[in-house]
Structure 1
Amino acid sequence: MDIELAGLTKRYGATTAVDGIDLKIRSGSYCCLLGPSGCGKTTTLRMIAGHETVSAGDVVIGPRAVGDLAPAERGTAMMFQSYALFPHLTCRDNVAFGLRMRGVAKAERHRRAEAMLRLVQMEALAERLPAQLSGGQQQRVALARALVTSPKVLLLDEPLSALDPFLRVRMRTELKRLQGELGITFVHVTHSQEEAMALSDLVVVMNAGRIEQAADPRTVFERPATAFVARFIGGHNVITLPDRRVAVRADRMLLGPEAGPEAVAAQVVAVEYQGSAVHLGLTAPDLVTDAGTPLTAILSDRAFAARPLRPGDTVRLGWQPGEAHRLDA
């Protein structure tokens, strides 16, 4: 189902957590709400779910406003960061619990629970208790439990944050596969730029309760709307030029003879080997950077090996004119 947020606001006394945001999420898309802690992304998700009351504005799911409806009446399901599995229930019974609360007969709810466990590749562990599962297995069970009621919208609150890096990548693939197979709308809260880029059709970057940019991942990375987005997404240098403020991707910075006639002198202050690439930290007196931070240039391992640099070296630094993307104020 389509989701529309219109002037959505949440206040806690004198504190505004979500400040009049407008957003449209099309049916069947994977949307990630991305931003630092305290930016309002989880509060927004909870207002969509009905777990937080709305101070002002509307939440519209499908054809109707749902602000006055209970969570169970919205056609949504929520997967919590903690997974919140019942420790005394088997995987099957955890998955079937929501159906039990709705009065579904035992045989039918077990059939549907087992179908969901197959979908998340956990059917062989249906009789195990949560304590007998790994973190990734618990996540799959929590996901099956959220999906068993056939929601039109699945809401996920930092579902991968408790997993180790290897498993996090694997579960990203599983989430994307499931969303594609089921064809329902996913709204996923994360503070991980990599996670949002890998999963979403729509990235919504939030800051201080407001939306800084909402676009597909490539647009957000290639053309960040504001200095905040450029900084938070990473991989960009935010530079103040005499007539404007711009973002230049770190992998588009040019060093040495290729830097062009308008290049400036820069000093290498850091070299970080990252396997396939080398990240250089540089300072350039003639360039005003965001918050006075060093500039970053990313070179391929092969390019760096052909012309290695060390901290203290001086080099010409520049970029092609078309690589400087203008930022909003």
Structure 2
Amino acid sequence: MIAEPAQGLRVGFAGTPEFAREALAAMLGAGLSVPLVLTQPDRPAGRGMKLQPSPVKQLALEHGIAVAQPTSLKLDGRFPDEAAAAREALQAAQLDVLVVAAYGLILPRWVLALPRLGCLNIHGSILPRWRGAAPIHRAIEAGDAETGITLMQMDEGLDTGDMLAVEREPIGPDDTTALLHDRLARLGGRMIVAALADAAAGRLQPVPQPLEGVTYAHKIDKKEAAIDWTLPAAVIARRVRAFDPFPGASFVRGAETIKVWQARLADGQGAPGEVLVAEAGVLRVACGEGALEIERVQRPGGRRQPVREWLAGCDIRPGERLG
């Protein structure tokens, strides 16, 4: 349980995906009072493309928490009625603080100024490195040795607010975005519970972000999935890990797009995309520098499988060029 002073806080929460759900679960598990949750509108998903609530909404409803799902929070934007309704809900909740984690909507000035203690953001990087939408993916793609969680006092900039707490997390050589995401989500949950207790007691000490070392983690585009065999093998291997689970690195062979879920560096030279070895369960492909040994793949509509299973069912041969 959290410290007694924090038990009296009225904490709003704004978040959408699983990363945010972990933080909300930690707050509820600590006994915090959460009268209102903001999350993105339900989205179509699955084979039937039926509307599905976000992980955060599902958890909020399980605990009987009021949920608001505005398309926008801009009172002068395309959806002013939704924004006005959200403002009424936020005002009625009489929040002391609003916790934000991977919400997906920009918070305008009126939202930032509404809670007594402002808005606290759980960000998946060591700021100012990897401000923006995809910090976990980009850290792996860039070959960073570590990342972490920064708790930030939000302002009107893009992840530019003062830092309240920082904890680091190493990035292992086999870490995918999926694995690192889960560790950081748990870390963020633990950190926000402690920070809220500090906020209630007046112990938070905001620190401005460094002026140097700013990078931007641009949103992942599906177009990035296509493997560019002219790149060094080390870069492609990092992208395979960074794009797991989304969008999945891939190459084209014939009429099929084959996803690559696991690969490692290997010796070999050849034209970029040239198959060097395709036998005994080994698929080795030349890159712009070095070679890549592909270990797990997925055909369209199929499951992830060891590459030896895929090789057993196709006639791929050395010398073939992969698209």
Same fold (TM over 0.5): no
Give the alignment's TM-score, normalised by structure 1. Answer: 0.27
**Which has the larger share of helix?**
1
**Which has the larger share of strand?**
1
Higher relative CO (CA 8 A, sep ≥ 6), structure 1 or 2?
1
